[in-house]
Amino acid sequence: MFSASARIVIIALSLLAMSCALSGCKNDLDEAKLVTSRANVNIEKGKDVVIQYSDHGNTKIKAVAKTLTRFNVEKPYLEFTDGIKITFYSEDKTVGTTMTADYASAVENSNIMTARKNVEVINAKGEKLNTEEIIWDEQKKIIYSNAFVKITTADEIIWGNGMEANEDFSDYVIKKVIGKVKVKTEKE
């Protein structure tokens, strides 16, 4: 079918293609070995992470993050460097409270999570907390901050330094109120 010279050209091209493919694999494998030898095996990373906590099959808390990094060191901890959104569900399985932040970290087995940068908490009543740092103590079921806070309700905006609230942000106390403004509602 093919002439002898055509077969030689086909064989030569096939050998050339195989040698290129094999040398490409060798380089990729060598590169992979180099990268993994330099990699810190104490770091685990995940992308587009969803973490759910449930009780008897009912979702109680759902955390969504673009990036999760786990540092497996003496005291292992997690970092959410590209932001996090946590949704707390009420007993009737509806969204109760949401919290978003540009950054969060948590030391494993400590039940403490710290959220920083553009932190926003919105409760079931629509009341909103804005601050630059908040700490969630899961064991005590409270959130608190020592930073500047702004709380917006249906009829007022309150500014202060520091606050403490229950976990679902339905009951809160501002430590040092520095200002209040009444907001005119549509009914007035």
The reply to whether 175 and 127 lie within a common domain is yes
Q: DSSP E strands: which ranges in 56-102?
A: 58-71, 77-80, 84-89, 95-101
**pLDDT tens track for 37-71:** 445 567 888 898 888 888 888 888 888 999 988 88
Residue 188 is assigned to a structural domain of this protein: no
**Counted domains in the chain:** 2
Task: Return the pLDDT at 132.
Answer: 96
**pLDDT tens track for 99-147:** 999 999 988 888 899 999 999 999 999 999 999 999 999 889 899 999 9
The reply to whether 120 and 173 lie within a common domain is yes
- Rounded Cα gap, residues 169 and 158, in angstroms: 15
**pLDDT tens track for 4-40:** 444 444 444 444 444 444 444 445 565 555 555 445 5
The reply to whether 5 and 60 lie within a common domain is no
Residue 149 is assigned to a structural domain of this protein: yes
Task: Return the pLDDT at 32.
Answer: 53
The reply to whether 24 and 85 lie within a common domain is no
Task: Return the pLDDT at 40.
Answer: 54
Which of the given ranges, 96-100, 144-148, 184-188, has the highest pLDDT on average? 144-148
List the domain range (segments joined by +) for residue 125. Answer: 43-182
The reply to whether 30 and 1 lie within a common domain is yes
State yes or no: pLDDT of 183 exceeds 90. Answer: no
State yes or no: pLDDT of 90 exceeds 50. Answer: yes
The reply to whether 21 and 58 lie within a common domain is no
Tokens of 90: 């009420």
CA dist 65 → 7, 104, 139 (Å): 57, 10, 22
